[in-house]
Amino acid sequence: MHSETEFKQEEYLERVDKISQFIDNHNKKDIQTAEDIQLLVDTFYDHVKLNQIIGPIFTETIPVDWEHHLPKMYKFWGSILLGERSYEGNPMQRHVEISGLTAMGAEEFSEWLLIFTSTVNSLFEGEKAKEAIVRAGNISRLMLHNIEQKKT
Ligand code: HEM
């Protein structure tokens, strides 16, 4: 009898797990505020720093001054997704420069995009979340194209 009870409990716990995942997914909100953008950017770079392929570009090749870089990225994504118009800069030019210091090809861009997409999807759900992923993909392709053009 004891094992039967245990079995049922296991089944029950599995179901509870499934239900809480379901509730989690349905409670995700869209990217709506400056705080949401900050959470997205901060979480994204937490993952980037730990990534074996592109992490060292940020931590060793450059290395990035995070106090300066993060607020810039809040403005960049705030301008794209919330219409803030706060970002002033030329990301294309900066990435072509970086490609002169380290490998910045299809492998690095797909890794970047994979981290970005999984970060957005883990935190948000909605039209702006989808837009963030689509825009990141478009900018990535353009950046990679510009980098390849400069090399030939
Ligand atoms: C392989 C992919 C990428 C790598 C390794 C990379 C790396 C970097 C690094 C190291 C910086 C900091 C430069 C500095 O502080 O001097 C930077 C800046 C920046 N990155 Fe990327 N990046 C990548 C892709 C992208 C993509 C796809 C986007 C946009 C969707 C993007 C947007 C930006 C922006 C807006 C800045 C700030 C530029 C500025 O105004 O100074 N990056 N990136």
Ligand 1 proximity of 104 Cβ (cutoff 6 Å): yes
**Cα-Cα end-to-end distance for the chain:** 74
Please compute, for residue 148, the number of CA atoms within 13 A of its CA located in the half-sphere on the CB side. Answer: 9
15 and 48 assigned to the same domain: no
38 and 22 assigned to the same domain: no
145 and 72 assigned to the same domain: yes
Which residue is listed with tokens 């937490």?
Answer: 46
Ligand 1 proximity of 77 Cβ (cutoff 6 Å): no
Handedness of CA 98, 101, 106, 112 (dihedral sign): negative
Q: How far is the CA of 28 from the centre of ligand 1 (A)?
A: 27
Q: Give the residue numbers spanning the domain of 9.
A: 1-30
58, 64 contact by CB (below 8 A): yes
Q: What string of pLDDT tens digits covers the 152 residues of the chain?
A: 555 566 677 777 787 777 777 776 677 899 999 999 999 999 999 999 999 999 999 999 999 999 999 999 999 999 999 999 999 999 999 999 999 999 999 999 999 999 999 999 999 999 999 999 999 999 999 999 999 998 75
Which residue is listed with tokens 């861009």?
Answer: 109
Nearest CA to ligand 1 atom 10: 58
Ligand 1 proximity of 70 Cβ (cutoff 6 Å): no
Q: What is the pTM of this model?
A: 0.88
CATH number at residue 41: 1.10.490.10
